[in-house]
A = this chain, B = another copy of it.
Amino acid sequence: MAKKVLIVGGVAGGASAAARLRRLDENIEIIMFERDGYISYANCGLPYYIGDAIKEREKLLVQTPQAMKDRFQIDVRIHSEVIAVDTAKRCVTVQSKERGIYEESFDDLILSPGAKALRPGIPGIDSSHIYTLRNVPDTDKIKRVVEEKKPSSAIVIGGGFVGVEMAENLKEKGTRTAIVEAAPHILAPFDEDMVISAERELVQNGIRLFLNDGITGFSDTEHCVKVQLKSGRVLEAELVILAMGVRPDTEFLRNSGIELGERGHIKVNERLQTNIEGIYAVGDAIEGVDYVTGSKTAVALAGPANKQGRIAADNIAGIPSVFEGFLGTSIIKVFDLTVARTGANERTLKAAGINYKSVHLYPMSHASYYPGAFNISLKLLFDMEGKILGAQATGYEGVDKRIDVISTVMTLKGTTEDLTKLDLSYAPPFSSAKDPVNMAGYAAENVRKGLSHVTTWEKVYDETEEYQFLDVRNAEEYDLGHMDGSVNIPVNELRGRLDELDRNKKIILYCQVGLRGYIADRILTQKGYEVQNVSGGYLSAKDFLY
Protein backbone atom coordinates (compact mmCIF):
# COMPACT_ATOMS: atom_id res chain seq x y z
CA MET A 1 0.00 0.00 0.00
CA ALA A 2 1.17 3.51 -0.70
CA LYS A 3 2.77 5.51 2.06
CA LYS A 4 0.78 8.32 3.66
CA VAL A 5 2.58 11.54 4.47
CA LEU A 6 1.02 14.43 6.36
CA ILE A 7 2.38 17.95 6.25
CA VAL A 8 1.60 20.61 8.84
CA GLY A 9 1.85 24.12 7.38
CA GLY A 10 1.34 24.96 3.74
CA VAL A 11 3.78 27.74 2.96
CA ALA A 12 7.56 27.92 2.50
CA GLY A 13 8.71 24.67 4.07
CA GLY A 14 5.47 22.71 3.83
CA ALA A 15 4.57 23.45 0.23
CA SER A 16 8.16 22.92 -0.91
CA ALA A 17 8.20 19.53 0.76
CA ALA A 18 4.85 18.58 -0.76
CA ALA A 19 5.85 19.51 -4.31
CA ARG A 20 9.19 17.74 -4.11
CA LEU A 21 7.69 14.65 -2.55
CA ARG A 22 5.18 14.32 -5.34
CA ARG A 23 7.86 14.71 -7.97
CA LEU A 24 9.78 11.94 -6.29
CA ASP A 25 6.85 9.61 -5.83
CA GLU A 26 3.59 9.53 -7.76
CA ASN A 27 2.02 7.08 -5.36
CA ILE A 28 2.46 8.56 -1.90
CA GLU A 29 -0.71 9.97 -0.39
CA ILE A 30 0.10 13.54 0.59
CA ILE A 31 -2.17 15.63 2.79
CA MET A 32 -1.17 19.18 3.68
CA PHE A 33 -2.89 20.98 6.57
CA GLU A 34 -2.99 24.74 6.76
CA ARG A 35 -4.61 26.62 9.61
CA ASP A 36 -5.33 29.71 7.51
CA GLY A 37 -7.12 30.13 4.22
CA TYR A 38 -4.00 30.53 2.13
CA ILE A 39 -1.07 28.33 1.26
CA SER A 40 2.18 28.96 -0.51
CA TYR A 41 2.13 32.72 -0.28
CA ALA A 42 5.02 35.11 -0.51
CA ASN A 43 5.51 36.15 3.12
CA CYS A 44 8.52 38.12 2.05
CA GLY A 45 6.46 40.19 -0.32
CA LEU A 46 3.81 41.22 2.20
CA PRO A 47 5.40 44.54 3.28
CA TYR A 48 5.89 45.52 -0.36
CA TYR A 49 2.27 44.84 -1.17
CA ILE A 50 1.27 47.12 1.69
CA GLY A 51 3.66 49.75 0.32
CA ASP A 52 2.36 49.32 -3.24
CA ALA A 53 5.65 48.22 -4.76
CA ILE A 54 3.70 45.04 -5.46
CA LYS A 55 0.40 46.16 -6.93
CA GLU A 56 -1.57 42.95 -7.35
CA ARG A 57 -2.59 40.88 -4.39
CA GLU A 58 -2.74 37.68 -6.48
CA LYS A 59 0.96 37.96 -7.10
CA LEU A 60 1.49 37.09 -3.45
CA LEU A 61 -0.23 33.77 -3.88
CA VAL A 62 2.34 31.56 -5.52
CA GLN A 63 0.11 28.47 -5.39
CA THR A 64 -3.51 27.85 -4.53
CA PRO A 65 -4.94 24.63 -3.05
CA GLN A 66 -6.58 23.89 -6.39
CA ALA A 67 -3.36 24.41 -8.32
CA MET A 68 -1.47 22.18 -5.88
CA LYS A 69 -4.13 19.55 -6.43
CA ASP A 70 -4.09 19.87 -10.22
CA ARG A 71 -0.36 19.75 -10.63
CA PHE A 72 0.80 17.69 -7.71
CA GLN A 73 -2.21 15.71 -6.50
CA ILE A 74 -1.76 17.16 -3.06
CA ASP A 75 -4.80 17.00 -0.80
CA VAL A 76 -4.60 20.52 0.59
CA ARG A 77 -6.85 21.15 3.57
CA ILE A 78 -7.09 24.82 4.48
CA HIS A 79 -8.73 26.18 7.63
CA SER A 80 -7.47 22.99 9.19
CA GLU A 81 -5.33 23.36 12.27
CA VAL A 82 -3.38 20.44 13.60
CA ILE A 83 -3.95 20.70 17.33
CA ALA A 84 -2.15 17.59 18.49
CA VAL A 85 0.23 14.90 17.35
CA ASP A 86 -0.04 11.41 18.78
CA THR A 87 3.35 9.89 18.15
CA ALA A 88 2.36 6.52 19.53
CA LYS A 89 -0.84 6.14 17.52
CA ARG A 90 0.90 7.92 14.63
CA CYS A 91 -1.92 10.28 13.96
CA VAL A 92 -2.68 13.97 14.22
CA THR A 93 -5.78 15.67 15.51
CA VAL A 94 -7.17 18.27 13.17
CA GLN A 95 -9.53 21.11 13.95
CA SER A 96 -11.24 21.87 10.68
CA LYS A 97 -13.56 24.76 9.94
CA GLU A 98 -15.54 22.50 7.63
CA ARG A 99 -15.28 19.13 9.29
CA GLY A 100 -14.81 19.87 12.97
CA ILE A 101 -12.29 17.82 14.91
CA TYR A 102 -10.97 14.59 13.43
CA GLU A 103 -7.92 12.40 13.40
CA GLU A 104 -5.70 11.60 10.47
CA SER A 105 -3.08 8.85 10.57
CA PHE A 106 0.38 9.03 8.98
CA ASP A 107 3.37 6.97 8.05
CA ASP A 108 5.55 10.04 7.88
CA LEU A 109 4.91 13.54 9.12
CA ILE A 110 6.56 16.82 8.12
CA LEU A 111 6.17 19.74 10.50
CA SER A 112 6.55 23.20 9.01
CA PRO A 113 4.33 25.35 11.24
CA GLY A 114 6.61 28.36 11.06
CA ALA A 115 6.67 31.07 13.66
CA LYS A 116 4.33 33.66 15.01
CA ALA A 117 4.85 37.28 15.83
CA LEU A 118 5.78 38.05 19.42
CA ARG A 119 3.10 39.91 21.35
CA PRO A 120 4.42 40.61 24.83
CA GLY A 121 1.98 41.13 27.67
CA ILE A 122 2.39 44.88 27.85
CA PRO A 123 -0.50 47.02 29.13
CA GLY A 124 -2.71 48.14 26.27
CA ILE A 125 -1.29 45.63 23.77
CA ASP A 126 -4.82 44.71 22.69
CA SER A 127 -5.50 48.14 21.24
CA SER A 128 -7.29 47.93 17.91
CA HIS A 129 -4.62 50.17 16.41
CA ILE A 130 -1.88 47.58 16.95
CA TYR A 131 -1.12 45.03 14.22
CA THR A 132 1.36 42.26 13.58
CA LEU A 133 2.38 40.97 10.16
CA ARG A 134 2.93 37.32 9.39
CA ASN A 135 0.46 36.11 6.82
CA VAL A 136 -2.12 37.12 4.24
CA PRO A 137 -4.99 37.86 6.65
CA ASP A 138 -2.63 40.11 8.69
CA THR A 139 -1.66 41.84 5.48
CA ASP A 140 -5.24 42.35 4.39
CA LYS A 141 -6.00 44.03 7.71
CA ILE A 142 -3.06 46.40 7.57
CA LYS A 143 -3.63 47.11 3.89
CA ARG A 144 -7.23 48.05 4.62
CA VAL A 145 -6.21 50.47 7.36
CA VAL A 146 -3.54 52.02 5.18
CA GLU A 147 -5.80 52.41 2.15
CA GLU A 148 -9.00 53.39 3.91
CA LYS A 149 -7.85 55.42 6.89
CA LYS A 150 -4.70 56.73 5.26
CA PRO A 151 -3.04 57.10 8.65
CA SER A 152 -0.84 60.14 8.84
CA SER A 153 1.43 58.56 11.42
CA ALA A 154 2.70 55.11 12.29
CA ILE A 155 5.05 53.58 14.80
CA VAL A 156 6.88 50.36 14.17
CA ILE A 157 7.96 48.59 17.34
CA GLY A 158 11.11 46.66 16.62
CA GLY A 159 13.88 47.36 14.13
CA GLY A 160 14.37 43.87 12.76
CA PHE A 161 14.01 42.98 9.10
CA VAL A 162 10.23 43.04 9.08
CA GLY A 163 10.11 46.25 11.14
CA VAL A 164 12.48 48.10 8.84
CA GLU A 165 10.68 46.88 5.72
CA MET A 166 7.34 47.92 7.16
CA ALA A 167 8.66 51.36 8.12
CA GLU A 168 9.97 51.92 4.63
CA ASN A 169 6.76 50.77 3.01
CA LEU A 170 4.56 52.87 5.27
CA LYS A 171 6.77 55.86 4.48
CA GLU A 172 6.38 55.13 0.78
CA LYS A 173 2.64 55.38 1.32
CA GLY A 174 3.11 58.86 2.77
CA THR A 175 2.77 57.94 6.42
CA ARG A 176 5.06 59.69 8.92
CA THR A 177 6.79 56.72 10.46
CA ALA A 178 8.97 56.03 13.46
CA ILE A 179 10.81 52.93 14.60
CA VAL A 180 11.23 52.16 18.28
CA GLU A 181 14.00 49.71 19.08
CA ALA A 182 14.93 48.51 22.56
CA ALA A 183 18.50 47.60 21.60
CA PRO A 184 21.11 50.27 20.92
CA HIS A 185 20.80 49.55 17.19
CA ILE A 186 18.37 48.14 14.67
CA LEU A 187 18.96 44.96 12.64
CA ALA A 188 20.54 42.86 15.36
CA PRO A 189 22.39 40.46 13.03
CA PHE A 190 24.71 43.32 12.08
CA ASP A 191 27.50 44.82 14.12
CA GLU A 192 27.14 48.40 15.24
CA ASP A 193 29.72 49.78 12.81
CA MET A 194 27.89 48.21 9.89
CA VAL A 195 24.32 48.99 10.82
CA ILE A 196 24.84 52.67 11.29
CA SER A 197 24.66 53.36 7.57
CA ALA A 198 21.25 51.68 7.53
CA GLU A 199 20.11 53.87 10.40
CA ARG A 200 21.40 56.93 8.57
CA GLU A 201 19.57 55.87 5.41
CA LEU A 202 16.33 55.53 7.37
CA VAL A 203 16.73 58.90 9.05
CA GLN A 204 17.63 60.60 5.79
CA ASN A 205 14.47 59.17 4.30
CA GLY A 206 12.39 60.68 7.04
CA ILE A 207 11.98 57.71 9.38
CA ARG A 208 12.39 58.75 13.00
CA LEU A 209 14.47 56.33 15.04
CA PHE A 210 14.15 55.83 18.77
CA LEU A 211 16.95 53.51 19.74
CA ASN A 212 17.80 52.03 23.09
CA ASP A 213 14.26 52.50 24.24
CA GLY A 214 11.76 49.81 25.11
CA ILE A 215 8.00 50.11 25.30
CA THR A 216 6.20 49.99 28.61
CA GLY A 217 2.60 50.41 27.55
CA PHE A 218 0.00 51.51 25.05
CA SER A 219 -3.14 53.53 25.57
CA ASP A 220 -5.84 54.41 23.09
CA THR A 221 -6.89 57.98 22.41
CA GLU A 222 -9.75 58.91 20.10
CA HIS A 223 -8.08 58.07 16.76
CA CYS A 224 -4.65 57.14 17.95
CA VAL A 225 -2.66 55.03 20.29
CA LYS A 226 -0.14 56.45 22.72
CA VAL A 227 3.09 54.50 23.04
CA GLN A 228 4.92 54.87 26.32
CA LEU A 229 8.64 54.31 26.21
CA LYS A 230 11.01 53.27 28.98
CA SER A 231 12.80 56.59 28.70
CA GLY A 232 9.58 58.35 29.63
CA ARG A 233 9.02 59.62 26.15
CA VAL A 234 5.50 59.23 24.81
CA LEU A 235 4.83 58.81 21.10
CA GLU A 236 1.48 58.81 19.41
CA ALA A 237 0.34 57.38 16.10
CA GLU A 238 -2.73 56.21 14.26
CA LEU A 239 -1.17 52.87 13.47
CA VAL A 240 1.26 50.66 15.36
CA ILE A 241 3.02 47.69 13.85
CA LEU A 242 4.47 45.24 16.33
CA ALA A 243 7.56 43.69 14.80
CA MET A 244 9.36 42.45 17.87
CA GLY A 245 10.46 39.16 16.44
CA VAL A 246 8.96 35.71 16.26
CA ARG A 247 8.72 32.53 18.21
CA PRO A 248 8.14 29.04 16.85
CA ASP A 249 4.48 28.15 16.41
CA THR A 250 4.85 24.83 18.19
CA GLU A 251 2.45 24.88 21.13
CA PHE A 252 0.44 22.05 19.61
CA LEU A 253 3.51 19.83 20.05
CA ARG A 254 3.97 20.50 23.77
CA ASN A 255 2.84 17.08 24.98
CA SER A 256 3.52 15.09 21.86
CA GLY A 257 6.85 13.63 22.92
CA ILE A 258 8.54 15.49 20.08
CA GLU A 259 11.55 17.18 21.63
CA LEU A 260 11.54 20.94 21.73
CA GLY A 261 14.36 23.32 22.61
CA GLU A 262 14.35 25.95 25.31
CA ARG A 263 12.49 28.50 23.28
CA GLY A 264 10.06 26.02 21.76
CA HIS A 265 11.98 25.14 18.61
CA ILE A 266 11.71 21.59 17.31
CA LYS A 267 14.96 19.67 17.67
CA VAL A 268 16.15 17.89 14.55
CA ASN A 269 19.25 16.12 13.33
CA GLU A 270 21.10 16.77 10.06
CA ARG A 271 18.48 14.84 8.13
CA LEU A 272 15.82 17.03 9.73
CA GLN A 273 14.42 14.10 11.70
CA THR A 274 12.96 14.79 15.11
CA ASN A 275 13.50 12.39 17.95
CA ILE A 276 10.48 10.43 16.71
CA GLU A 277 11.04 8.05 13.79
CA GLY A 278 9.34 9.24 10.63
CA ILE A 279 8.62 12.73 11.95
CA TYR A 280 10.54 15.54 10.26
CA ALA A 281 10.55 19.25 10.92
CA VAL A 282 11.70 22.20 8.84
CA GLY A 283 11.59 25.98 8.60
CA ASP A 284 11.24 28.70 11.18
CA ALA A 285 10.08 26.23 13.81
CA ILE A 286 13.30 24.24 14.06
CA GLU A 287 16.60 24.75 15.75
CA GLY A 288 19.80 23.61 14.15
CA VAL A 289 23.51 24.05 14.18
CA ASP A 290 25.26 27.33 13.52
CA TYR A 291 27.55 26.54 10.60
CA VAL A 292 30.29 28.78 11.97
CA THR A 293 30.21 28.44 15.74
CA GLY A 294 28.74 24.95 15.94
CA SER A 295 26.32 26.05 18.64
CA LYS A 296 22.53 25.68 18.56
CA THR A 297 20.70 28.38 16.67
CA ALA A 298 17.44 29.13 14.91
CA VAL A 299 17.20 31.14 11.70
CA ALA A 300 13.80 32.26 10.50
CA LEU A 301 14.42 32.78 6.80
CA ALA A 302 12.79 31.59 3.62
CA GLY A 303 15.91 30.19 1.92
CA PRO A 304 16.58 27.60 4.62
CA ALA A 305 12.86 26.84 4.99
CA ASN A 306 12.45 26.08 1.28
CA LYS A 307 15.63 24.03 1.13
CA GLN A 308 14.80 22.10 4.27
CA GLY A 309 11.36 21.26 2.92
CA ARG A 310 13.02 19.70 -0.08
CA ILE A 311 15.55 17.85 2.07
CA ALA A 312 12.84 16.34 4.28
CA ALA A 313 10.98 15.16 1.20
CA ASP A 314 14.14 13.57 -0.18
CA ASN A 315 14.74 11.68 3.03
CA ILE A 316 11.18 10.40 3.11
CA ALA A 317 11.43 9.28 -0.49
CA GLY A 318 14.64 7.42 0.21
CA ILE A 319 17.20 9.90 -1.10
CA PRO A 320 19.55 10.58 1.81
CA SER A 321 19.92 14.32 2.16
CA VAL A 322 21.26 16.57 4.89
CA PHE A 323 21.06 20.15 6.07
CA GLU A 324 24.51 21.02 7.31
CA GLY A 325 23.70 24.08 9.36
CA PHE A 326 22.70 27.70 9.32
CA LEU A 327 25.01 30.28 7.83
CA GLY A 328 22.33 32.92 8.25
CA THR A 329 22.96 34.77 5.01
CA SER A 330 20.46 37.60 4.89
CA ILE A 331 19.82 40.85 3.13
CA ILE A 332 17.52 43.83 3.29
CA LYS A 333 16.83 46.81 1.09
CA VAL A 334 16.68 49.98 3.19
CA PHE A 335 15.41 52.57 0.75
CA ASP A 336 18.30 52.83 -1.74
CA LEU A 337 20.78 51.05 0.50
CA THR A 338 21.47 47.33 0.58
CA VAL A 339 22.56 45.75 3.85
CA ALA A 340 23.64 42.12 3.84
CA ARG A 341 25.58 39.61 5.84
CA THR A 342 26.62 36.00 6.14
CA GLY A 343 28.01 33.91 8.97
CA ALA A 344 28.74 35.16 12.44
CA ASN A 345 29.04 38.75 13.61
CA GLU A 346 31.41 40.08 16.25
CA ARG A 347 28.81 39.73 18.96
CA THR A 348 28.22 36.05 18.21
CA LEU A 349 31.93 35.36 18.02
CA LYS A 350 32.61 37.06 21.32
CA ALA A 351 29.76 35.14 22.93
CA ALA A 352 31.14 31.88 21.55
CA GLY A 353 34.62 32.76 22.76
CA ILE A 354 36.05 32.53 19.27
CA ASN A 355 39.17 34.57 18.54
CA TYR A 356 38.81 36.57 15.41
CA LYS A 357 40.36 39.31 13.33
CA SER A 358 38.55 41.77 11.14
CA VAL A 359 39.33 43.89 8.13
CA HIS A 360 37.14 46.70 6.94
CA LEU A 361 37.33 47.89 3.35
CA TYR A 362 35.53 50.41 1.19
CA PRO A 363 36.12 49.13 -2.36
CA MET A 364 34.14 50.48 -5.28
CA SER A 365 31.16 48.48 -6.48
CA HIS A 366 32.61 48.56 -9.99
CA ALA A 367 35.51 50.28 -11.75
CA SER A 368 35.74 53.75 -10.26
CA TYR A 369 36.23 55.35 -13.66
CA TYR A 370 33.00 53.92 -15.05
CA PRO A 371 29.87 55.88 -14.08
CA GLY A 372 27.60 54.82 -11.24
CA ALA A 373 30.17 53.24 -8.95
CA PHE A 374 29.64 53.46 -5.19
CA ASN A 375 31.77 52.47 -2.25
CA ILE A 376 30.83 49.21 -0.62
CA SER A 377 31.52 49.05 3.08
CA LEU A 378 32.74 45.49 3.58
CA LYS A 379 33.77 43.87 6.81
CA LEU A 380 35.33 40.43 6.91
CA LEU A 381 35.73 38.40 10.08
CA PHE A 382 38.24 35.55 10.06
CA ASP A 383 40.67 33.69 12.27
CA MET A 384 44.41 33.34 12.08
CA GLU A 385 44.08 29.92 10.42
CA GLY A 386 42.31 31.65 7.55
CA LYS A 387 38.85 30.36 8.37
CA ILE A 388 36.21 32.85 7.31
CA LEU A 389 33.83 33.52 10.17
CA GLY A 390 31.50 36.09 8.72
CA ALA A 391 31.04 39.09 6.48
CA GLN A 392 28.83 42.13 6.46
CA ALA A 393 28.40 44.71 3.74
CA THR A 394 26.41 47.81 2.96
CA GLY A 395 26.20 49.93 -0.15
CA TYR A 396 24.18 51.04 -3.12
CA GLU A 397 25.28 48.47 -5.68
CA GLY A 398 26.75 44.99 -5.77
CA VAL A 399 26.40 44.25 -2.07
CA ASP A 400 24.33 41.11 -2.61
CA LYS A 401 26.90 39.75 -5.05
CA ARG A 402 29.83 40.11 -2.68
CA ILE A 403 28.01 38.59 0.27
CA ASP A 404 26.82 35.69 -1.89
CA VAL A 405 30.34 34.99 -3.08
CA ILE A 406 31.71 35.04 0.46
CA SER A 407 28.84 32.89 1.68
CA THR A 408 29.68 30.42 -1.08
CA VAL A 409 33.29 30.25 0.01
CA MET A 410 32.17 29.71 3.59
CA THR A 411 29.74 26.96 2.64
CA LEU A 412 32.56 25.18 0.85
CA LYS A 413 34.83 25.75 3.84
CA GLY A 414 37.22 27.84 1.81
CA THR A 415 39.72 30.19 3.42
CA THR A 416 40.75 33.83 3.23
CA GLU A 417 43.47 32.70 0.86
CA ASP A 418 40.80 31.24 -1.40
CA LEU A 419 39.18 34.67 -1.56
CA THR A 420 42.32 35.98 -3.26
CA LYS A 421 42.12 33.28 -5.91
CA LEU A 422 38.54 33.73 -7.04
CA ASP A 423 38.23 34.47 -10.72
CA LEU A 424 35.26 36.83 -10.66
CA SER A 425 33.74 38.39 -13.72
CA TYR A 426 35.26 41.73 -14.57
CA ALA A 427 34.35 44.45 -17.02
CA PRO A 428 34.13 48.09 -15.90
CA PRO A 429 30.33 48.18 -15.38
CA PHE A 430 30.43 45.18 -13.04
CA SER A 431 33.53 45.09 -10.89
CA SER A 432 37.24 45.80 -10.75
CA ALA A 433 40.08 43.60 -11.92
CA LYS A 434 40.57 42.82 -8.25
CA ASP A 435 37.03 42.37 -7.04
CA PRO A 436 36.12 43.68 -3.57
CA VAL A 437 36.04 40.05 -2.44
CA ASN A 438 39.57 39.45 -3.70
CA MET A 439 40.58 42.65 -1.96
CA ALA A 440 39.08 41.50 1.33
CA GLY A 441 41.06 38.30 0.89
CA TYR A 442 44.28 40.24 0.33
CA ALA A 443 43.71 42.40 3.36
CA ALA A 444 42.94 39.38 5.53
CA GLU A 445 45.92 37.40 4.24
CA ASN A 446 48.17 40.36 4.98
CA VAL A 447 46.97 40.32 8.56
CA ARG A 448 47.47 36.57 8.82
CA LYS A 449 50.96 36.72 7.36
CA GLY A 450 51.95 39.50 9.71
CA LEU A 451 52.40 41.92 6.82
CA SER A 452 49.76 44.27 8.08
CA HIS A 453 48.88 45.22 11.62
CA VAL A 454 45.30 46.29 12.00
CA THR A 455 43.30 47.64 14.84
CA THR A 456 39.84 49.12 15.19
CA TRP A 457 38.55 52.40 16.59
CA GLU A 458 36.96 50.44 19.37
CA LYS A 459 40.37 49.16 20.44
CA VAL A 460 42.00 52.55 19.97
CA TYR A 461 39.47 53.97 22.40
CA ASP A 462 40.43 51.40 25.01
CA GLU A 463 44.16 51.87 24.42
CA THR A 464 46.03 52.39 27.67
CA GLU A 465 49.61 52.30 26.39
CA GLU A 466 51.04 55.62 25.23
CA TYR A 467 51.19 55.96 21.43
CA GLN A 468 51.88 58.38 18.59
CA PHE A 469 48.76 59.13 16.57
CA LEU A 470 49.42 59.55 12.87
CA ASP A 471 47.17 60.64 10.01
CA VAL A 472 48.77 59.63 6.69
CA ARG A 473 46.26 61.30 4.39
CA ASN A 474 47.20 64.41 2.48
CA ALA A 475 47.05 67.86 4.03
CA GLU A 476 43.74 68.85 2.41
CA GLU A 477 42.01 65.78 3.77
CA TYR A 478 43.52 66.35 7.19
CA ASP A 479 42.36 69.96 7.22
CA LEU A 480 38.82 68.94 6.36
CA GLY A 481 38.65 66.90 9.56
CA HIS A 482 40.86 64.51 11.48
CA MET A 483 41.00 62.58 14.72
CA ASP A 484 41.89 64.67 17.70
CA GLY A 485 45.51 64.40 18.66
CA SER A 486 46.72 63.00 15.35
CA VAL A 487 49.66 64.53 13.50
CA ASN A 488 49.70 64.59 9.73
CA ILE A 489 52.44 63.05 7.60
CA PRO A 490 51.09 62.07 4.18
CA VAL A 491 52.08 58.53 3.22
CA ASN A 492 54.08 59.72 0.22
CA GLU A 493 56.25 61.91 2.48
CA LEU A 494 56.72 59.31 5.18
CA ARG A 495 60.03 57.90 3.99
CA GLY A 496 61.55 61.39 4.10
CA ARG A 497 60.12 62.42 7.44
CA LEU A 498 60.86 59.43 9.64
CA ASP A 499 62.80 61.66 12.01
CA GLU A 500 59.55 63.27 13.11
CA LEU A 501 58.50 59.97 14.68
CA ASP A 502 59.58 58.57 18.01
CA ARG A 503 61.20 55.22 17.40
CA ASN A 504 60.40 54.02 20.91
CA LYS A 505 56.69 54.65 20.96
CA LYS A 506 54.00 52.62 19.23
CA ILE A 507 52.39 54.35 16.26
CA ILE A 508 48.65 54.19 15.69
CA LEU A 509 47.89 55.48 12.24
CA TYR A 510 44.95 55.85 9.90
CA CYS A 511 44.11 57.10 6.43
CA GLN A 512 40.73 57.52 4.78
CA VAL A 513 39.79 53.85 4.27
CA GLY A 514 42.78 51.81 5.36
CA LEU A 515 44.72 51.37 2.12
CA ARG A 516 47.27 54.15 2.50
CA GLY A 517 47.47 53.27 6.16
CA TYR A 518 48.48 49.78 5.13
CA ILE A 519 51.21 51.16 2.87
CA ALA A 520 52.43 53.39 5.73
CA ASP A 521 52.34 50.34 7.97
CA ARG A 522 54.56 48.49 5.50
CA ILE A 523 57.04 51.34 5.28
CA LEU A 524 57.25 51.93 9.00
CA THR A 525 57.30 48.31 10.07
CA GLN A 526 60.21 47.62 7.78
CA LYS A 527 62.01 50.56 9.39
CA GLY A 528 61.54 48.98 12.77
CA TYR A 529 58.56 50.90 14.13
CA GLU A 530 55.69 49.24 15.94
CA VAL A 531 52.58 50.14 14.00
CA GLN A 532 48.85 49.66 14.14
CA ASN A 533 46.71 50.75 11.23
CA VAL A 534 43.03 51.40 11.86
CA SER A 535 41.08 49.15 9.50
CA GLY A 536 38.47 51.15 7.62
CA GLY A 537 40.28 54.40 8.44
CA TYR A 538 38.65 57.75 9.00
CA LEU A 539 35.53 56.65 7.13
CA SER A 540 34.84 53.89 9.62
CA ALA A 541 35.41 56.32 12.50
CA LYS A 542 32.41 58.22 11.21
CA ASP A 543 30.33 55.09 11.58
CA PHE A 544 31.85 54.20 14.90
CA LEU A 545 31.33 57.64 16.39
CA TYR A 546 27.97 58.53 15.02
Taking Cβ atoms with an 8 Å cutoff, the residues of A that contact B are 12, 23-27, 42, 44-45, 48, 53-54, 59-60, 62, 70-71, 73, 161, 291, 301-307, 310, 319, 324, 326-333, 338, 340, 342, 367-371, 400-401, 403-405, 407-409, 411-412, 414, 418, 420-431, 433-435, 438, 442, 449, 451, 491-492, 495, 518-519, 522-523, 526-527
Contacts and interface: CB of A to CB of B under 8 A. Distances in A.
Nearest to A519: B23
Contacts of A404: 401, 404-405, 422, 424-425, 435
A408 B388 CA distance: 15
Given A369-B59, A451-B24, A45 B428 contact: yes
A524 to B, nearest CB: 10
A57 to B, nearest CB: 10
A324 B421 contact: yes
Contact of A423 (B304, B405, B495): B304
Contact of A430 (B333, B434, B438): B333
Contacts of A424: 303, 329, 404, 407-408
A401 B365 CA distance: 12
Given A331-B430, A333-B430, A412-B414, A303 B423 contact: yes
Contact of A42 (B338, B367, B405): B367
Nearest to A415: B412
Contact of A327 (B26, B161, B423): B423
In the A-B complex, the 4 residue pairs with the closest CB atoms? A331-B425, A59-B369, A302-B433, A401-B401
Given A48-B370, A338-B430, A411-B421, 7 more contacts: A24-B451, A26-B526, A53-B371, A59-B369, A307-B438, A342-B425, A408-B422
Given A412-B414, A425-B407, A430 B400 contact: yes
A305 B433 contact: yes
A54 B403 CA distance: 28
- Determine how many copies of this chain the complex contains: 2
B329 A370 contact: no
Contact of A400 (B42, B369, B401): B401
Nearest to A47: B428
Contact of A409 (B331, B332, B408, B492): B408
A329 B371 contact: no
Contacts of A330: 425-427
A451 B23 CA distance: 9
A301 B526 contact: no
B408 A405 contact: yes
A342 to B, nearest CB: 7
Contacts of A306: 433-434
B426 A418 contact: no
Contact of A71 (B423, B425, B427, B519): B519
A370 B367 CA distance: 29
A49 to B, nearest CB: 8
B425 A403 contact: yes
Contact of A425 (B304, B329, B428, B449): B329
A396 to B, nearest CB: 13
A526 B25 contact: yes
A429 B161 CA distance: 14
Nearest to A53: B371
Contacts of A412: 408-409, 412, 414, 418
Contacts of A400: 401, 425, 430-431
Most B CB contacts (10 A, CB to CB) among A44, A435, A527 go to A44
B430 A411 contact: no
Contact of A342 (B53, B71, B423, B430): B423
A150 to B, nearest CB: 23
A434 B303 contact: yes
Contacts of A492: 70-71
Most B CB contacts (10 A, CB to CB) among A24, A367, A408, A414 go to A408
A54 to B, nearest CB: 6
Given A23-B522, A307-B438, A369-B54, A328 B423 contact: yes
